[in-house]
Chain A
Amino acid sequence: MTAITTRPSAGRDPALRRRRRRTPLSWLRRGGLSNLVFLLPLLVIFGVFSWGPIVESVVMSFQRTNFVVTQWVGWDNFAALLRDPLVPTAVLNTGWFALLALIFGYPIPLVVAVLMSEVRRARGLFSALAYLPVVVPPVVSVLLWKIFYDASPRGVFNTILGWVGIPPQPWIQSAATAMPSIVLEATWAAAGGTIIIYLAALTSVPPELYDAAEIDGAGIRHKIWHVTLPQLRPVLLVTFILQIIGTAQVFLEPFLLTFGGPANSTLSILQLIFRYAFQNSIGVDYGKATALSLLLALFLALFSFVYFRITKAWSDD
């Protein structure tokens, strides 16, 4: 209160303003304290629940600990990661998931969004239908899909396939089909959110651009290619990186659907981290788990940095 009411009328005199900036007193007079007070809850919450644990996990990646006995092991955890044959498996699996998710999960929402933007009637209904899977709690939807994926001829999907004469598929019970099955579920679950983003972006495309293109004789394909996509470019670039970051951290779907199986064919990096930390029952590998987390985080940070550097030119275009 005091800080606000006694604030000088304004820093009209540049010299005065400069001088004030330098002293803590002037910082205080300019409302620094109340700013800080407003910031404080945020700082505390982030500090306690986010930054603190981050620092903690960096520290832990150099330790061997079970929370009772802790010892420093230097780079041992990282060295052990390099020796573990499951690390390349997990990296490849995650890459495979990311690629499949990109192939299915990236274009499908875009196509659906473009189609939906063309729909004149009952658009609200379609939006609601598209967004519905996002509203369903992920655990529920994954477990539902697990039932759908029942590999016996009586399974939901296999029954449907049976109607059109396709033999029963093993779905998540085979190394070859497990990952695509997971991607299918993940795409279904996540598409709604992306569609809504695209829809919003599409409505912001000025209609006169389409008019101009039509006058120039452009068909629907040309309109999409030359008007819609370039207009959506900034949004597409952001959703792309979000998708990469998201898929690199895939955990829930393989954890619930396959637990990494069969035979580690769907073991993702995050799941491997989980295994290190928890699955050996005694939990002595928190160090290795945090070390792998750290590597993943570093990789994603680096990737994002490079990505934004490269695409900066495109989006500024």
Chain B
Amino acid sequence: MRIDSAALLVKDPELREVPDVVGPGEHPTEDRDEIHDIYRGWRAVADTYPGTRVLVGELWVPDIDRFVQYLRPDELHTAFNFDFLARPWDAAELRASIDATLAAHAPVHAPSTWVLSNHDVTRPVTRYGRADSSFAFLDKRFGTPTDLDLGTRRARAAALLTGALPGSLYIYQGDELGLPEVEDIPRELLQDPMHYRSGGVDPGRDGCRVPLPWSGDLPPYGFSTGAVSAAPWLPQPASWARYTVQSEAADPRSMLALYRAALRIRRAEPLGDGPFAWLDDAPEGTLAFRRGDAFLSITNLAGHPVPLPAGELLLASDELGQAADGSRELPRLHGVAPSTAASHGEPSPEKGKTMKSPRTVGAAVLALTALAGVAALSGCSSSGDQPANGQVAITVASLIPGSSDDAFKQFNQRVKEFEKANPDILVKPVEYQWTGPTFSAQLAAGTLPDVFNVPFTDSKSLANAGQLADITSEVKKLPYAGRFNQSLLSVAKNDSGDIFGIPYGPYAYGLSYNRDLFTKAGLDPDKPPTSWDEIRTDAKQISDKLHIAGFMVFTSGNTGGWALTEQTYARGGRMEVTKDGTTTVTADNEQTVDALKFLQKMRWDDDSLGSNFNLDWSGMNQYFGSGQTAMYPSGSDVLTSLVQQNKVDPKDYGLALIPTEGTGSGVLSGGNVAVVAPNASKAEQQASVKWIDFYYMQKLLDKKSAIADAKSLVANKQPVGVPQLPIFDKKQLDTSLGWIDSYINVPKANVAAFQNGIFDQTIIPEPAKHTQELYGALDSVVQAVLTDKNADITALLKGVNTQVQALIDADAK
């Protein structure tokens, strides 16, 4: 029999006002000494019945000594212990409460009770996710922020903690489902008088009283069945489908599964009774105690993972981590509980960094461990071979400097998600752009991020030169390691086959064009040119009508040679030929000559290339973004950068295939390799590969990650659906695109010309040897052709041959 408000049965007969200072037993309505006579009477009645009759008091008596007076042998059998549920998520606080509770109950020989919440109290999942995780009626306010993921992990740990304590365990209905406090009940539907008495500032207690979800996908989730059509008295949230008993019973990782497993162990061990002793040499910040000789409970509230002693693991509330030495450890429960101090608004977004306040970081995982013997315990405190804060911090390349705030917001969101999933890794994003000039100096100075990216063009040379970290073993551990397109993965390997990075975002050359300018020039934007002759006539029409460049190619910063190589491939030529291990530079091949003659005609006969012949990658993007050229060949992924840097609207953007003509013709491909700085420690390298896996790979492999990524891209106004090539195979790419189909915001029709044709093209990699020097030398040739009417193309190309061949031959020596 439960006695509600068990301390409030007796009033002062004189009905005095409540004094300012109330001594023990002096309150006119609460906890008056006369009440004990009543309970003695009731107990006598209860004892007259056969079998087990139990009196349980709902007692809100803060003074633990007065509290246990109700539990004397001739009064109530037991009472709820509200001290424990009011304490914040803090090892010292909880330990003090446990100690006080056990000490007070011992003399009256009553069992202690443990409960995490009841029908008056904020749900533990919500409460433990708050900056202030203690409970007090008077502090309840609307809009107190919480981190439900953090709260859930803590609530799971708390469930196992209470489950291992001696005494009676109470579970408030719904806690076993991990229900959060419902904080968005429409105000007009609130029932609790506490809300109305507070003048509407206190949300009241309805949030923990919402009818339980049992089954199904829609309210009332099986709460009302059959003919009952009336809605429950409080509305159930639409998101509760995942909390139903039905769905949690099917999920081994659910809160319900955890509770059931914990209760089975509690009965089997048996933990309701028996000795209890704190473990003296437990790591700081943990609650570790022994129940008998062979049972150990450890709850980690420290700000870092703690090692787990040897023994059989019965149950853990969270996934175990692995210490550097390979032993198991309890992960720290990592996260930032939203601070109420930061005012009533949302937590302030921090750009570019994620600060962690150690004070608000809680950590919790509980393991019930059956130990082989006490001897094993001594090993537990000495195996802590961790960095001081137990975390590995890595810096990762974020975006190109100058990218929009929205793009950075999106990136930081991904970082937060990663940190949530990997509490032992701290990620610091830094702006980064691959530039040859600064790379070596950054490497020498140790200022490179731990994770950064290099183009396919350079990755192999860097790997061979020892300028990247060898991550072969980490990459091989990835479940999809064997599925990479091997020819792509080879760009990330050195000559001996060790792996130095993970390729991502492969692209093929495409013809970017401005649909708006096409329309203005009287061309059909849905019919981009499909042959080089059409490019020429279209360009002429555009430049005649609009007095801008109809077409333009890169010319400087080595991109001139890069683009000329593509124009050569498109006609079936090659810049370098390797035979029997010897590489010959063939820059003067017929097709390159043709490509340059083609440019020459457009420049000097048609005058359709504009007037700026000094355009590198960024310069060209700017040129295109500001409407000064209508077409240019570039990587098929350039739209992302055009949006982030040059504010190009995907609606005005079109991507077509570069026309391929002649035998051996194909499309130049490229991409990036996510690599790790060679000076990163082993732990940093491991964390780095985890990040690469999360940020670059999972969106291609895992539906949930793909959607999460696409969602945050869309939310931050970034393009989704920029054409790229498959990193595994086309099927995988199509599958991953299918997952995010509804998020694609790059008009499909605008890139259809490219997308529909690219898989029928031969994809050709970049020239292998001294690629950058080759490109640099070709820059000058392109510039000469565009600025000197009488440029001798063949002589210039022969010069390139000599120049680059000398470099290649020097290597062979």
- CB proximity of B307 to chain A, nearest CB, Å: 36
Within 8 A of B (CB), among A283-315: 283-284, 286
Within 8 A of B (CB), among A243-269: 258-259, 261-264
Tell me whether A263 and B784 are in contact (CB under 8 A).
Answer: yes
- Set of chain A residues within 8 Å of B547, measured between Cβ atoms: 152-154
- CB proximity of A52 to chain B, nearest CB, Å: 15
Given contacts A263-B780, A278-B437, contact A85 B457 (CB under 8 A): no
Assembly CA distance A175 to B613 (angstroms): 11
- Set of chain B residues within 8 Å of A286, measured between Cβ atoms: 440
Is A180 part of the contact surface with B, judged by Cβ < 8 Å?
Answer: no
- Set of chain A residues within 8 Å of B616, measured between Cβ atoms: 259
Tell me whether B784 and A282 are in contact (CB under 8 A).
Answer: no
Instruction: Please classify the interface of chain B as helix (H, G, I), strand (E, B), loop, or mixed, using the class held by over half of its residues.
Output: helix
What's the interface size class on A, roughly?
35 or more
Assembly CA distance A281 to B438 (angstroms): 9
Within 8 A of A (CB), among B516-567: 547, 555-558
Given contacts A259-B556, A263-B781, A282-B772, contact A152 B437 (CB under 8 A): no
Given contacts A67-B444, A152-B610, A262-B614, contact A280 B773 (CB under 8 A): yes
Which of B436, B556, B803 makes the CB contact (< 8 A) with A261?
B556
Tell me whether A262 and B613 are in contact (CB under 8 A).
Answer: yes
- Set of chain B residues within 8 Å of A152, measured between Cβ atoms: 547, 610-612
Tell me whether B678 and A261 are in contact (CB under 8 A).
Answer: no
Given contacts A173-B611, A262-B783, contact A68 B443 (CB under 8 A): yes
Is B93 part of the contact surface with A, judged by Cβ < 8 Å?
Answer: no
Give 1 or 0 for each of A128-161: 1 = CB within 8 Å of chain B CB: 0000000000000000000000111111000000
- CB proximity of A87 to chain B, nearest CB, Å: 12
Stretch at the interface among B49-57, B109-117, B460-468, B499-507: B460-468
Given contacts A68-B678, A174-B787, contact A282 B612 (CB under 8 A): no
Looking across the interface, which residue of chain B has its beta carbon closest to that of A152? Answer: B611
Given contacts A67-B440, A85-B803, contact A262 B558 (CB under 8 A): no
Within 8 A of A (CB), among B448-472: 457-458, 461-462, 465-467
What's the interface size class on B, roughly?
35 or more
Within 8 A of A (CB), among B583-636: 610-614, 616
Tell me whether A264 and B439 are in contact (CB under 8 A).
Answer: no
Is B510 part of the contact surface with A, judged by Cβ < 8 Å?
Answer: no
Is A170 part of the contact surface with B, judged by Cβ < 8 Å?
Answer: yes
Tell me whether A282 and B613 are in contact (CB under 8 A).
Answer: no
- CB proximity of B468 to chain A, nearest CB, Å: 10
- Set of chain B residues within 8 Å of A172, measured between Cβ atoms: 614
- Set of chain A residues within 8 Å of B770, measured between Cβ atoms: 280
Tell me whether B773 and A261 are in contact (CB under 8 A).
Answer: no
Is A275 part of the contact surface with B, judged by Cβ < 8 Å?
Answer: yes
- Set of chain A residues within 8 Å of B556, measured between Cβ atoms: 259, 261
Looking across the interface, which residue of chain B has its beta carbon closest to that of A286? Answer: B440
Given contacts A68-B466, A263-B781, A264-B780, contact A279 B436 (CB under 8 A): yes
Tell me whether A262 and B787 are in contact (CB under 8 A).
Answer: yes
Tell me whether B436 and A281 are in contact (CB under 8 A).
Answer: yes
- Set of chain A residues within 8 Å of B810, measured between Cβ atoms: 80
Looking across the interface, which residue of chain B has its beta carbon closest to that of A172? Answer: B614
- Set of chain B residues within 8 Å of A50, measured between Cβ atoms: none
Which of A150, A155, A262, A284 makes the CB contact (< 8 A) with B786?
A262
List 6 A-B pairs, Cβ < 8 Å: A154-B547, A155-B611, A258-B614, A261-B780, A280-B773, A281-B458
Additional 9 contacts, C-beta under 8 A, given A67-B444, A68-B466, A262-B788: A80-B810, A150-B612, A174-B787, A261-B779, A261-B780, A262-B786, A275-B776, A280-B776, A281-B439
Q: Which 5 A-B pairs have the closest CB atoms?
A: A281-B436, A283-B440, A278-B437, A67-B444, A263-B784
